Structure 1
Amino acid sequence: MIYADDHYYTLHDVEKQYEFFDSIEQIRECQNKRLAVCLSDMFQWITLCLYIRQKGGMVFPIHPSTPQQGALRMATDASCHFLFYQSMHSMTELSSIEWEGEGGLIQMSSGTTGTPKCIERSWSSVEEELTSYVSTLSLDRFTTSIVACPVTHSYGLISGVLSCLKRGAEPVIITKMNPSYLLKKLNEHRNHIFYAAPTLLHTLSRLMGANQRFHYVMTSGTVIPAIWLESLKSVSTKVFQQYGCSEAGCVAVHTNLQQAWEMGYPLPHLRVEAGEMDAPSEIIVHTATNSVSTKDLGYVKDGILSFLARIDDTINVAGLNVYPQEVENVLMNEPRVIEAIVFRKQNNFTGERVCAQYVSEETIEEIDLREWCSKYLAPHQIPIEFERVSSIEKLPNGKVSRKKLAETYI
């Protein structure tokens, strides 16, 4: 039923876990309770999630690498009654305050542009997303979801694992991020859809042997650089991309990605508003119960939602908008540039200016980079400052915080 690294767990294993959960009062009586869970055993976490969902409780999954004090703080901030840390036998009672509400899933927003928020989604809204998502992907039960991203986050949990179970397939959950191991697992399950972050997909695509290929790959979380996408397409049957937010889950899916900025068609249970190609505006997602302001800038053309930038990341140069991803794609097409990130820096006299960090194995003269950019970009888009770094700092979720870069950049 479920693979976790090198272990295969059957329906009998799931039933044994359910019997174990029945023996723990705080789990068995989880309706009207908020449970924080930080477990390193991924099979136990998935079965616990399914159990709590069946019981109608509220669950808050915390990434297993989180230190105990950090998990306690997060669980307290989310008003949880109990925290199970690393073991179901290790429980901390946090609150005895009565809580009545519909059970569901608690997630923290990424916090790339501010303090993370606690987001609550009902199980009924998760089920609605799953039904819509599975019908949009149109994959059969013989296509294995290989999930190489955190299953404590909605991308790995809902899109990767739960959607796979819903269509009757057996998910493979990977926690060992060794590239050789991952390529071995992909080879063992040739008819697969591989869920991962762009950086990991790019790394694996460069390490593949002559006879190795991805079947389907799914990218999400941050827009994949255009040059990485072309490389990925050359070793994949199809490249998928999905776009979402913590409040609504998956919002749009592209099942045959050609341009990196195209997020795809909105899922049928949602209504999405955005601007037009010549006049982009904030992407607003309308669910059955509320409207979500994403703080993302985009547009819809021919039914396809495209993403340009986070509104907070857009750089205003003398009244003209610069979208970091567009400049990054140009920089990364320079043969010597391996990776690049573009962000804004505030200047008290000249206003906002475009700055860039890049990774390269050799020193590149700044004048060479300017000349390269001038072939493809307008003058206001060309970075004022370039900095060569050994690596580009990323958050634990694999994203880059341009806001944090701007604050620390000297």
Structure 2
Amino acid sequence: MMMFYVNDQFYTVEDIEKQFELYESLSHLRECNNRRVAICTVDIFQYIALCLYIRQKGGSVVPIHPATPQEGTMRLASSAGSHLLLFQSIDSCIELSNHSNNQEGVLVQMSSGTTGAPKCIERTWSSVEEELDSYVKTLPVDSLTNSVVACPVTHSYGFICGVLACIRRGAKPVIITNSNPKYILKKLKEYPKHILYAAPALLYTLSQLLPIDQQFDRVMTSGTMMPHSWLTSLREKSRQVLQQYGCSESGCVAIHPNVEDPKEMGYPLPHVKVTAGDKQTPSEIIIEMSTQTIYTKDLGYIEDNVLSFLARMDDTINVAGLNVYPQEVENVLMDDPRIVEAVVYKKQDNLSGERVCAQYVSSEPIDHMELREWCRKFLAPYQVPMEFVFVHEIEKLPNGKVSRKKLGGIPV
């Protein structure tokens, strides 16, 4: 049964059915079966209902983050080939194209943009269904466990894995749009059997604010590798920490049911075949689906059927022929208790080809020679950053991820 919460408001099947009746009375929605509809709204109930309705009609959906201003929304909607844009209201319908198409309905996702300009990626609703079936069969969670979705539902992580998969297994998703950590912790206490979907940075923040008498039931991390120190803190305060891996083209393809090492992404889902190198000779992670083969440009390996991710191939730093994986260096920096956040990236070097650089946020001033000596305790000489840069905040993309290319001054 299709029921869910948005913050403190509960919505029933009847609420969804009433919305469907309303949409049927509007010609621009009733006739959406061969059209692509971009949606940008702060009304998350309206957004979910529209997605379900358009999917049922065989139309296509282009989700746009609700904080996007109107001019930016129109640009994104147009670049995705949208016919209609619903901006903040179903009555505010902007016609972008009057050419319908006869293609199968799709869910459009934009790539993260961490390795270049964001790309428009189309996934058929049938491929989303295939992922959902596989995901629900694999996820070690029962129908009494609520998914608490504290990440954007305009992205497949929140929408497919957080909301649709929860509904598919008979539970009620709790979608949180209030980003106040204290509010999120309050909601988690209301649902003692939960799996919390959130980005690594938010999970770590919540773990630091968690009252001593409270524990997370289950948490799911995805999107970027979590520093070792963050994972350790999270594991101490959670009954179970899970991790999933995928990409915009495929959705989720692997789940780890109890992650102890951040680079371990988990076991491949049954609907895909995932290949990579071995521990001694890692290589590109390749995903084979029923309709396509995806070359991820991620470097990794498989050992005992567990997929591990090392780095984006473009982010790997080649120092005089030796590979440096940024996460390994970041973990060492983050183990210094004064370092709050760190990111490692590459710059061109006349002697070694590429050199290791680091930006960091710290709770107090740190002499860079002291940082260098700290790194030398744990890293090979070629892994030690040649350049340290203190910043008050590490620059991030709108999706919360870091572009290492941009930090290194490399064109994207």
TM superposition score category, shorter chain reference: over 0.9
| AA partner of residue 76 (structure 1) | S
2:83/2:100 contact within 8 Å kept: no
CA distance in 2 between partners of 1:323 and 1:13 (Å): 49
Partner of 1:59: 61
Distance 2:402 2:253 in 1: 21
Q: Deviations over 1:154-187 (max 9, x none)?
A: 0000000000000111100000100110110010
* Match in the other structure for 2:103: 101
Residues 285-329 of structure 1: per-residue CA shift (max 9 Å, x gap): 111011001110000000000000000100000000000000000
Please give the alpha-carbon distance, in whole angstroms, between the structure 2 residues aligned to 1:186 and 1:173: 11
Q: Which amino acid is 2:204 matched to?
A: H
Q: Distance in 2 between matches of 1:79 and 1:359?
A: 40
Secondary structure of the residue that 1:142 maps to in structure 2? coil
Question: 1:389 maps to what in 2?
Answer: 391
Output the CA distance in 1 between the equivalents of 2:134 and 2:305. Answer: 17
TM-score, normalising length: structure 2:
0.98
The match for 2:264 among 257, 262, 265 is: 262
Any idea what SS the aligned residue of 2:395 has? coil
Distance 1:39 1:164 in 2: 22
Matched, 1:221 2:189: no
Residue deviations 1:32-77, cap 9 Å, x none?
1111111110011111111111111111110001111111111111
**Where does structure 1 lack aligned partners over 5 or more consecutive residues?**
none
Q: Tell me which amino acid in the other structure corresponds to 2:310.
A: L
Aligned to 2:336: 334
- Give the CA deviation at 1:13: 0.9
Out of 114, 119, 122, which is 2:121 matched to? Answer: 119
Aligned partners of 1:178 and 1:296: how far apart in 2? 33
8 Å contact from structure 2 (residues 263, 309) kept in 1: yes
Q: CA deviation at 1:350?
A: 4.1
Identical aligned residues as a percent: 62
Cα distance in 2, alignment partners of residues 64 and 335 from structure 1: 36
Aligned to 2:172: 170
Which residue is 2:325 aligned to?
323
| Bigger mean CA offset, 389-398 vs 292-301 | 389-398
> Which has the higher mean CA deviation after the structures are superposed, 92-101 or 152-161?
92-101
1:102-131 alpha-carbon deviations (Å, 9 max, x no partner): 112011111111111110001110000000
| Alpha-carbon displacement from aligned partner over 1:14-45 (angstroms, at most 9, x marks no partner) | 11111111111121111111111111100111
Encode CA deviations 1:373-393: one digit per residue, 9 max, x unaligned. Answer: 111100000000111111212
Shift of 1:140: 1.5
Distance (whole Å) between structure 1 residues aligned to residue 100 and residue 47 of structure 2: 25
Structure 2: distance between partners of 1:396 and 1:319: 34
Aligned to 2:284: 282
Q: Would the aligned equivalents of 2:140 and 2:257 in 1 still touch at CA under 8 Å?
A: no
Gaps of 5+ in 2: none
Normalising by structure 1, we get a TM-score of 0.98
Q: How big is each residue's C-alpha offset from its partner over 1:161-216, in whole Å with a ceiling of 9 and x where there is no partner?
A: 00000011110000010011011001011100000000000001001111111100
Deviation for aligned residue 1:408:
8.3
Separation in 2, partners of 1:180, 1:234 = 19
Give the CA deviation at 1:139: 1.6
Instruction: Give me the whole-angstrom Cα distance separating, in 2, the residues matched to 1:391 and 1:191.
Output: 35
Matches within 5 A, 1:306-385: 306-385=308-387
Q: Distance in 2 between matches of 1:98 and 1:372?
A: 61
- Alpha-carbon distance in 1 for matches of 2:380, 2:205: 31
Partner Cα distance (1:388, 1:220) in 2: 27
Q: Distance in 2 between matches of 1:49 and 1:69?
A: 22
Residue type at the aligned position of 2:67: S
User: 1:21 pairs with 11, 20, 23, which one?
Assistant: 23
SS in 2 for 1:407: coil
- SS of 1:313's partner is coil
**AA paired with 2:102?**
E
Q: Equivalent of 1:49, from 51, 57, 64?
A: 51
2:314 aligns to what SS in structure 1?
Answer: helix
- Which residue does the alignment assign to 2:236? 234
Residue 339 of structure 1 and its aligned partner are, at CA, apart by: 1.2
- How far is the alpha carbon of 1:351 from its aligned partner? 2.1
CA RMSD of aligned residues (A): 1.1
